[in-house]
Amino acid sequence: MVRVAVAGGTSGLGRLVVNAIKATKKHDVFVLSRKDSDIFASEPDITLFSVDYAVPATITAVLEENRVDTVVSCLHLNSKEASDSQLNLIEGAARASSVERFAPSEFGLDYLEVAKVGLDFHAVAFKVAAIDKLKEFPSLKYIRFITGTFMDFFGPPPNPPQVNVISIIIDPENAKAAIPGDGSSTILITHTTDVARFVAAALSLPDWPEKLIIQGDRPTLNEVVAVAESVKGSKFDITYTSVNDLKAGKSTELPSNIPRYAILPKPIVDGITQTVSIGMVMGLMDIKGAYFCAEMTADTYSTAPKPVVLHIGDPILYNEAIYARFCELYTVIRPSTEERQRPEFIKALKENRWGDFNAIFRPYWSTGGEMGKWDAELISCLPQGVRVFASAGAGYDWADVEELANHGIIYCNSAAACTESVADFALFGILSTFRQLSWCTTAAVDPTSFTRCHLDATALSRNPRGHVLGVIGLGNIGQAIAAKAFAAFKMRILYYDINRKCSEVEAQSHAAFVPTLRDLVHQSDCVIVATPASPDGKVLVNGDLFKHFKKGARLINVARGNLVDEESLADAIDSGHIKSAMLDVHTFEPKVNERLKNRREVMLTCHNAGGTVDTHIDFERLSMENIEAVLSRAEMPNSAVPYNLFALSPSHIFISRPNMPPMLIRHRAANLEAVVDASRAKAQPTSAMKRTCDRYLNREFYAI
């Protein structure tokens, strides 16, 4: 436990720091103020002392009497008088026998580096003076918190306001921007609420280095404007100003600053904005550091707990290097096989055995499913902090993705990982059904069956070339099947999907859209099922649909077994309406339909379409990448299931980064109108995913 005194803790950044320290429930916190105040009257665990900053001895007495060992200065160094107060505070702390550590009010840039360039930067002389003063007391350890520019300056003040700000670079309220240079300069920005938490966490560090760097985001100036425009939903009036003009005192006035001239006169605001803008172009704002929860380096510490990932299933087999990095980013917990059995799994969740984890990671479809279907019973037991469920496999019928969405959880499958292998297997299915390969591969067991097949199979076999292939579901796998079938066999490709694809996708797949499923099967010589199972388990290819198939057509299923009514398929084959079929997936796996398993017209395989080493390598990799996208970068994952995204309610449209600082626009979202397009039900998956990502940026959410 640390006994810490915060100077200037009644308002502004100091108040945020006091609140953050109090929230840790680890330390005793005192506030030093120039005046007596009852501001903390309702908070008995915070003690305020009035001190005379002009007399160091009075400061020493207060610190020693209360056994304070750490002092954090949040004094606003806006004048020589304020600077002198901090210098006296340093002296008073250094002479107190109990004080061991001191943090000066350095929050912002690396002012020692700024001082070297000779730029008349606001308060830089005061910042440097504090470091020079601290060096006079070698026994007093000190730390400089390097935070970059406060993110608060890029939008309206928070409510209630804690830090008095002026607008720099962008004015979201009036859709204007004043960009120094060409906008390509990169800047480090961090919100004051994150800074406060960082300071509170740093109190627990056993040793303080000379500086600690915190990084919120590092966008270019043009990216700052682009994000603001995206959220605002309109283009900004942008003015670019050269460095020479800025040095000559010329700058663009942002309208939101005008009311603030009552507090800070216009010449002062102009001087600040001009100097800061020049510093941005010079690279002074591009302070290199890691994210708030990144790996520690000599000057950059990770002070927040890592997000927790629940790894269900077998250990990683292939991507060891990626998994090692994954484990550096996150605390990974892997329940035992016994713990993954449904009763024990639910019990463990209810008793919070694995803590408040933030993601679920299932790298294999063959293990990790011991707890059964992820339904409302199971999902309701999850911690509130779970944000993403990343699983191997292309299907998701074993998880209620709508219920996951109701809990604000993004579900990601790994269909992209098995696209090539399933598409290749589908081509084998085409050859099998056109060339009677099921008969040909089983008839060689004796001379009689060999001879009969050799003579009779010819009359039943056709070349696929020129025939019509109907693809049900033109997702990634369906597109790959269509493209390969066209390239290999020059088949004519038709497809049906609930959402018609854009012309570019259709051209790349050589596929033409058919508006109804009945029209598709009526025109096709061979039909391939390549669509996810319906969440309600509805059969897609049933007895009624078989009546609309072209007589002598072929059927291939590489999707989900329950999509095809296998009894109706057997009837259609018996009647001769369906010539042949290939099923890689089955309704009651591992059992196959008794009427289909010994027929020479039917090729049955053991759910092998996606089963290659290459697929498993990518299952692992893609699942980890999806989790990292959500937890570490607050980005839309690569393979979020569209149905899950469509079901996310507006209150859940956000990506949180547990223990990570939020993106720039998160802190301004409450002050910007969020426009949400309501036409998501009819959207194409690709555009819907993009729009859903946009919605994440439009929501008020504080990640801290």
User: What residues are labeled active site?
Assistant: 560, 589, 607
**Closest C-alpha to 292, from 238, 216, 354:** 216
| 3-class secondary structure, 161 | coil
Query: CA-to-CA distance for 680 and 690, rounded, in angstroms?
Result: 11
CB atoms within 10 A of CB 338: 9
Query: CA-to-CA distance for 453 and 459, rounded, in angstroms?
Result: 10
Alpha helices in 401-541 (DSSP H): 401-406, 419-435, 437-442, 447-460, 476-489, 503-509, 517-523
Query: CA-to-CA distance for 661 and 304, rounded, in angstroms?
Result: 10
User: Which residue matches tokens 């002009």?
Assistant: 54
DSSP class per residue in 182-243: TS--B--EE-HHHHHHHHHHHTT-SS--SEEE-BSB--BHHHHHHHHHHHHTS--EEEEE-H
Q: Does the CA dihedral 251-254-259-260 come out positive or negative?
A: negative
Query: CA-to-CA distance for 696 and 231, rounded, in angstroms?
Result: 10
Q: What is the dihedral of CA 158, 159, 164, 167, to 10 degrees?
A: 40
Query: CA-to-CA distance for 251 and 257, rounded, in angstroms?
Result: 13
Omega within 30 of 0 (cis) for the link into 160: yes
Q: Contact, 668 vs 231, CB < 8 A?
A: yes
CA 154, 109, 202: angle at the middle one, nearest 5? 100
What one-letter code names the amino acid at 421?
S
Query: CA-to-CA distance for 357 and 365, rounded, in angstroms?
Result: 21
| 3-class secondary structure, 583 | strand
| 3-class secondary structure, 460 | helix
Q: Which helix (H) or strand (E) holds 102?
A: strand 101-103
80, with CB counted inside 10 A (0-12, 13-18, 19+), is: exposed
296, with CB counted inside 10 A (0-12, 13-18, 19+), is: exposed
User: Which residue matches tokens 């504090």?
Assistant: 130
Per-residue DSSP letter, 156: S
Backbone φ, ψ for residue 2 (5° rounding): -110, 140
Q: Contact, 131 vs 97, CB < 8 A?
A: no
**Closest C-alpha to 626, from 395, 316, 387, 421:** 387
Q: 190 has which bridge partners?
A: 150
Length of the chain: 704
Q: Contact, 35 vs 44, CB < 8 A?
A: no
DSSP class per residue in 605-673: --S-TT-SHHHHHHHHHHHHHHHHHHHTT----TTB-HHHHHH--GGG-----TTSPPPGGGGTGGGS-
Number of H helices, E strands in the chain: 24, 25
Omega within 30 of 0 (cis) for the link into 206: no
